Amino acid sequence: MITLQNVSKVFNKTVAVDELSFDIPNRAVFGLLGPNGAGKTTVIRMIMNIIQPDSGKISIEGKPIEQKNYRRIGYLPEERGLYQKMKLKDTIIYFGTLKGLSKPVAAKQTNYFLEQFNLSNYAERKIEELSKGNQQKVQFIIAVIHQPDLLILDEPFAGLDPVNQLVLKEFLKDFQASGKTIILSTHQMEQVEKLCDMICLINNGKKVLHGDLKDIKNNYSSKKFIIQFEGDKSQIADFILPDWELSGDRLSGTLNSHSSINSILNKVIARVIVTHVDIVEPSLEQIFIDQVKGRVAS
């Protein structure tokens, strides 16, 4: 488990991270979310010991993170950091040896991942000759070649087409299934919904929302209801709420704090025949927008 306790970081009087605390349990896929400038990359860099927090503590399994722990961590930064003049295969082998692999093991792992990510035909090409998407795949391979216990990914889907996004997602699912932990920071909310067990949403360096993703969605107050009915819609037009819409044989809208679905259904049933009721969970993107705008209390 990774724990952040009251962690803060200030750059030139700008508070990047403000008294931030949360836990990341083992074997979780943990989404670290927030708008641009929220402090996500700063948090990741502090976990990786690239920069130091001004105050607070970061620990792994209850102990301060030491240099030896970083052999267990794989890190994919948002910015590419590849040697453009080196050949693809040589680059991956080199980084594998930096992470403690012998050269023969690094070469074997490299061949495996090149095949997995459809890069075998590019093995002898220089990095600068690769597309942005393929360079992103190379950076990912470098992050996982030593089979880390913890994988930290900052915008891993950037530059990848839908096919390669699917390949990466399948790999991450297998990675978690093998007992590993993933920290995922991305703006692509649909990827978070498909992959993450837990999330932490930060804004202006502060924690806004944290917990199990399913629980957050289940407990979210703004669920959309769709009521389908048979009968004369003019019979129910007089009590439609401001945020509800009556269209054809369908009544849809979001409940506010002063109404309940039961009270609405009772009124509808008294005037028309209800044939179906759907409850539409809010998307993570909508929750994200609402929380960042401060429309919903955290």
Per-residue model confidence as pLDDT tens digits over 199-247: 999 999 999 889 999 888 877 766 778 999 998 888 887 767 777 888 8
25-38 burial, b if ≥16 CB within 10 A, otherwise e?
Answer: eeebbbbbbbeeeb
pLDDT digits (tens, 9 = 90+) for 160-178: 888 889 989 999 999 999 9
pLDDT tens string 126-137: 999 999 899 999
What's the confidence (pLDDT) of residue 257?
55
User: Is residue 258 predicted with pLDDT exceeding 80?
Assistant: no
| Cβ density class 194-206: b for 16+ within 10 Å, e for less | ebbebbbbbbebb
Residue 189 has pLDDT above 90, yes or no: no
Collapsed DSSP state (helix, strand, coil) of residue 137:
helix
- Using the predicted structure, report yes or no on whether residue 197 has a pLDDT greater than 70: yes
Q: What is the mean pLDDT of residues 259-263?
A: 76
As a whole number of Å, the end-to-end CA separation of the chain is: 24
Q: Which two tokens stand for residue 202?
A: 């930060």
Burial group, residue 119, by CB count within 10 angstroms (0-12, 13-18, 19+): buried
Which range of 28-37, 87-96, 238-247 scores highest in mean pLDDT? It is 87-96
Mean pLDDT of 78-95: 91
pLDDT of residue 221: 62
Q: What are the domain boundaries of the chain?
A: 2-217, 224-280
Average pLDDT over residues 26-37: 91
Q: Classify domain 2-217 by CATH number.
A: 3.40.50.300
Given a cut of 90, is residue 253 above it in pLDDT? no
